[in-house]
Amino acid sequence: DPEGKGALQYWINYGLPRALLLVNAVLAFRLCFAFVSVDKLLSSGAGIHRLKYLILGKILYEAAANSYHQLKYWQELIPTVRAQDNKGLKDRFKTGLSSTLALILYIMAEAKYKGERIDNLIATCHKEKR
């Protein structure tokens, strides 16, 4: 807790909005891709500057789907988490919150890194007016 207000207040102020945004984004992508495939959108003829958001979203969605179980596995390697054999609902909830926050922080870092890479590739490979 960086502000000294307590862990619960930190989770409510920092973790909960980001978790809700992540869930909303994942559900929006799933809904969008249920009607239209990514390949059809990429071959639609739209400009690369508009498609970069779709490309980044697809990359981040795959990263989130592939890394969540790995984050849960790494979390189980922590001795204090492993020592709690008889977990109650409160402990499972805290474990779920911490793994969700870890996933959000991972996806935010990936978004910054991959977004910059996509922008650099567009700047060097595509000479298209916005």
> Global pTM?
0.62
Q: Quote the distance between the C-alpha of residue 79 and its chain's center.
A: 26
Measured from the Cβ of residue 87, the count of other Cβ atoms closer than 10 Å reads: 12
Residue 100: both structure tokens together? 């969700």
pLDDT digits (tens, 9 = 90+) for 16-56: 888 888 788 878 877 877 777 767 767 777 777 777 887 88
Q: Where are the domains of the chain?
A: 7-125
74 contacts: CB under 8 Å, gap ≥ 6: none
CA–CA distance from 19 to each of 4, 54, 103, 118 (Å)? 22, 21, 9, 25
pLDDT tens per residue across span 53-104: 878 888 888 888 888 888 888 888 887 777 666 677 777 777 788 888 888 8
Rounded Cα–Cα distance for residues 118 and 79 (Å): 39
